[in-house]
Structures are given as structure tokens and as C-alpha cells.
Amino acid sequence: MAGTDLLALHKDRFWQTAQGPRMDTGAMVAALEYASGKTATVVGKPERPFFDMAIKTLGLPSNQVVMIGDSIETDIGGAQRAGIEGVLVRTGNYHFLSESESGVTPDHTIDSIADLPVLFS
């Protein structure tokens, strides 16, 4: 693989399906990194360029943008490192890694996106 780059959209460990959690891309990326001896460049969440592009596309300052997601590391941690407020929703991927395990503290935590109007009122 000399002369090639290894790119990944993300390195998430799990994703939630109706049948329960399934292994996500992270395990496959780790295998490719091991086999190639290269470290993958992540071009999606939680990397800063992903969030910077979103902010630029919205045409708003980062303090007027909020990331709402269920992954404490990928959604909330990535957003906060980019200067964006993070709202953690306790659904989907939330169950895989708690706030205490991740070291990330969400700005807000809600049980459902249905709680957003109350949060922002």
C-alpha cells in the first residue's frame, strides 16, 4: 500500500439497529490500519474539519450552532472540540458509552428529540 492513503468516514464501534447493536466501521478501519501499517485519516465526525465545514455551510458563528446526537464521543465530543454546543440524546448509540466512561460532558442531555422545544424555549 505504499503511496496510498487510508481514509475513513469515522471509527465508531457500534451502531443501533432494530435488532440491537451491530459492529460499526471502526473495527474494519482498525483491521485495515493493522494490515497496512498506516493510520487512517478520518474525514467525518468527530474530526474538526467536518464540524468546521458544517459551520461554514450554515454561515453562522459556532456559538449559534448546536450539535444534537446520540454518540457522546463522535457527536458531542467532536462538536465541543470545534466550539459547538453539544446536546446528547439518550437514544440509539447513547447506551454504548456513558458520559463517565467517555470523559466528555455534554452541554445538555435530553431523553428524546421531542424535548428540544422545551430545552431551547
pTM exceeding 0.85: no
Higher pLDDT, 92 or 69: 69
> Does the pLDDT value for residue 54 go beyond 90?
yes
> Does the pLDDT value for residue 58 go beyond 90?
yes
Query: Mind listing the pLDDT tens digit for each residue in 16-43?
Result: 888 888 899 999 999 999 999 999 999 9
- pLDDT for 67 equals 97
Query: Mind listing the pLDDT tens digit for each residue in 96-110?
Result: 666 677 789 999 999
Q: What one-character DSSP code corresponds to residue 32?
A: H
Count of helix runs (H) and strand runs (E) in the chain:
5, 7
Domains of the chain: 1-43 (3.40.50.1000), 55-121 (3.40.50.1000)
